[in-house]
Amino acid sequence: MIKLHNLMEDEVEYIIDKLLKKRKDVCSCEKCRLDIEAISLNNLPPKYVVTKMGEIYERLDIMNFQFEADLVKEVEKAIQIVKDSPHHTDMER
């Protein structure tokens, strides 16, 4: 089985992980993480590849320093938005 995969999702998840580890002031519950991911991905161009299920693909071949810096900037913005108005409720936590 083959499917489309947006490499940007992996990159954004990776960067959110990295940033949230350093930001103890930001909620890292599943809802907030996904909100941060959604906001970031909506502001970034997708990078689609065709992939076989379970196939390992090169993650770094689309990456360079400037690109990573831009990603970090977008994710930082998304973190700030979610931090200012988190959408989680007590019931979801």
Nearer to Zn ion, 20 or 86 (CB): 86
Q: What is the CA radius of gyration of the chain?
A: 14
Q: Measured between alpha carbons, how far is 34 from 74 in angstroms, rounded to an integer? A: 14
Q: How far is the CB of 10 from Zn ion (least distance, A)?
A: 22
Q: How far is the CB of 26 from Zn ion (least distance, A)?
A: 9
Nearer to Zn ion, 29 or 62 (CB): 29
Give the start-end residues of each E strand in 22-85: 48-52
Closest CA to 43 of 75, 16, 91: 75
Nearer to Zn ion, 59 or 87 (CB): 87
Residues that bind Zn ion (CB under 5 A): 27, 29, 32, 86, 88
Q: How far is the CB of 37 from Zn ion (least distance, A)?
A: 13
Closest CA to 38 of 84, 89, 87, 2: 87
Q: Measured between alpha carbons, how far is 48 from 67 in angstroms, rounded to an integer? A: 16
Nearer to Zn ion, 7 or 32 (CB): 32
Q: How far is the CB of 43 from Zn ion (least distance, A)?
A: 20
